[in-house]
Amino acid sequence: MDGLAVAATALRQSRHIVVFTGAGISAESGIPTFRDQLTGLWSRHDPQRLETAKAFRANPALVWGWYLWRRQQMLQAQPNAAHHAIARLAVSGRQVTVITQNIDDLHERAGSQGVVHLHGSLMTPKCFACHRAAGLSSVEQSVSEEGELVEPPRCTHCNGRLRPGVVWFGEDLPTGAWKAAVQAARHCDVLLSIGTSGVVMPAASLPDLALASGAVVIHINPIDVGMDKSKEVMLIGDAGQVLPTLLERALAS
């Protein structure tokens, strides 16, 4: 039996499915990953050096401008076939938990509900000083060109600078989101790992947790990211093509 058939059978027999997504699924909608070459003035910067609290303290206008540019990219992007397939899976009569490392809202725009955001969201800024969440109007600014400096808005409670509501390098994951993700991974029948490299910890440990609990783990990725463990299936290809085909076979009967 080929990998697609094994994966389809596992999904067909499942009652609780965890869908765990990484940057690869959003890349198919045109959102660059860290591996992609930046363009324009941003090509002079290393994203990993901009995505830290230290960078924000040193140059808040640069970091805020970077995130406004990224947010504009995300708002211009559209959910792809994989996002829509995941949303359809949720109405198949099974319990579906969507967990993402992505900071965009493409899952929600495709129709998925209750998405667990491990790394936060660009749509929910918060105060750098008091950590209170701020309204969406705080990020409804625009940048005219890549690399523009934009002074962050101020918190209405303490007058501190607002920062993106995302997890920066060196910061812990949101406690509630991480607990929900671990709980789901430990109690699912199938975990679909889509477009994730498996190197960003601790999120990358979720497939291992599912395997240790007896679930089948199905990887969908353009490259082989499998760990050669039993009850693991590797489907190589773009999620926008592989996932709809898989679900068509799994839910056909």
- pTM of structure: 0.90
Q: How much is the pLDDT for 150? A: 84
Q: How much is the pLDDT for 44? A: 58
Residue 119 is among the residues annotated as catalytic for this protein: yes
Q: How much is the pLDDT for 103? A: 93
List % helix, strand, coil for the chain (3-state, nearest 5). Answer: 40, 20, 40
Q: Exposed, middle or buried, 48 (CB in 10 Å: 0-12/13-18/19+)?
A: exposed
Domains of the chain from N-terminus onward: 1-31+79-119+173-253 (3.40.50.1220), 32-76+125-166 (3.30.1600.10)
The parts of the chain modelled with pLDDT lower than 50 are 36, 39-42, 144
pLDDT per residue over 121-130, tens digit each?
988 899 999 9
Half-sphere exposure of residue 123: CA atoms within 13 angstroms, side-chain side: 11
Helices H / strands E in the chain, number of each: 10, 8
Catalytic residue among 83, 107, 119, 219: 119
* CA R_g for the chain: 19
